[in-house]
A and B are shown apart, each in its own frame.
Chain A
Amino acid sequence: RKEVEQDPGPFNVPEGATVAFNCTYSNSASQSFFWYRQDCRKEPKLLMSVYSSGNEDGRFTAQLNRASQYISLLIRDSKLSDSATYLCVVRPLNNDMRFGAGTRLTVKP
């Protein structure tokens, strides 16, 4: 079983739609959680950290469910520029970051 699992997609949605991605992790000792965005053939960039209480940044909302060991990312009012691959990243305590393979999103006009 992979340490971090994501639905690879692709998710194809129209502009203005709301879309949600989930990610599950296997290490219950994980302490830190993140969503990164990666454009085609580019480097990953931090989108947002995920806090236990959940957090929001504009159109993006991240949630953490420790009991079920998953995190989610919700994107509201999708824009064409949101098209990218979204990487779920988990860091166990005193250990290295673990990356999911990513979920590909395409927002269409």
Chain B
Amino acid sequence: DGGITQSPKYLFRKEGQNVTLSCEQNLNHDAMYWYRQDPGQGLRLIYYSQIVNDFQKGDIAEGYSVSREKKESFPLTVTSAQKNPTAFYLCATTRDRVYNEQFFGPGTRLTVL
């Protein structure tokens, strides 16, 4: 089955700890994205990557880091510098940067205690 997987589904961490969220895709899509969703707000772009070994900051990159060592994988690290990390994190892909339709993974709900 082609698709996007995110793990874990739920994640609990103590304040001050770094945590890495996984995103894997087998759609052979070039572009990958990380969004954050908070109640009452639209999705906000954290980082995106158009190609392996390249990524760009989105609107709210502070306190986050990413890597794109393989086409299939785009992990997101939430660092201790992120002031309000509790949120629903969504990974998405598009065939390429021009193509419009975004496909989303099932998301990871992060709670920082």
Contacts and interface: CB of A to CB of B under 8 A. Distances in A.
Contacts of A101: 40-42
Interface stretch (B11-19, B63-71, B77-85, B104-112): B104-112
A87 B109 CA distance: 19
A34 interface: yes
A44 B43 contact: yes
Interface residues of B, number: 20
B34 to A, nearest CB: 12
Interface residues of A, number: 21
B102 interface: yes
A4 interface: yes
Given A96-B48, A96-B58, A46 B42 contact: no
A32 B100 contact: yes
Contacts of B88: 41
B89 to A, nearest CB: 11
Contacts of B40: 8, 101
A99 B44 CA distance: 8
B45 interface: yes
A4 B106 contact: no
A1 interface: no
Contacts of B101: 34, 46, 49
Interface of B: 35, 40-45, 48, 58, 88, 90, 100-107, 109
